[in-house]
Amino acid sequence: MTIAILALLTLIEGMRRVPAGSVVLRRVLFGLWTVERPEPAERLRLLSWWSPIVTTIVLAPRQSYQKTSVTDLRARLDGRELYTPLFDLRVLGVVELVALVLGVPLALQRFGAIGFFAALGAVVLLCLTIFTALLFGGRKLGKRWGWAFPFLSPFAAPRAAEALLEEALRDVAPAVVGNTLLPEDAFVGWMRPFVYDATNGREVEHRFLEGVNVKELRASLAQRPPSQNGQGLWCPRCGATFIHGDSCSECGVHLVA
Q: What is the pLDDT of residues 78-125, one digit of tens each?
A: 888 888 899 999 999 999 989 888 888 888 888 888 988 998 999 999
> Average of pLDDT values for 31-48?
86
Cβ contact 34:27 at 8 Å: yes
Q: What is the pTM of this model?
A: 0.83
> Average of pLDDT values for 142-155?
85
Report pLDDT for 224.
Answer: 62
> Average of pLDDT values for 47-51?
82
Top-confidence range, 12-16, 52-56, 207-211? 52-56
Report pLDDT for 128.
Answer: 93
Nearest to 105 by CA among 123, 124, 119: 119
Q: How does residue 225 score in pLDDT terms, banded at 50, 70 and 90?
A: low
Asked if the model's pLDDT at residue 227 lies above 60, the reply is: no
Cβ contact 222:233 at 8 Å: no
What does the alpha-carbon distance between residue 106 and residue 2 come to, in Å, rounded to a whole number?
9
Calculate the alpha carbon distances from 85 to 3, 25, 150, 173, 198 in Å: 29, 20, 18, 23, 39
**Domain residue ranges in the chain:** 2-178, 183-224, 225-257
Report pLDDT for 125.
Answer: 94
What does the alpha-carbon distance between residue 1 and residue 3 come to, in Å, rounded to a whole number?
5
Report pLDDT for 228.
Answer: 52
Report pLDDT for 230.
Answer: 47
Long-range contacts of 232-241 (CB under 8 A, 24+ apart): 232/257, 233/257, 236/196, 237/192, 237/193, 237/196, 237/197, 238/192, 238/193, 239/189, 239/192
> Average of pLDDT values for 47-56?
85
Cβ contact 111:104 at 8 Å: no
What does the alpha-carbon distance between residue 104 and residue 212 come to, in Å, rounded to a whole number?
49
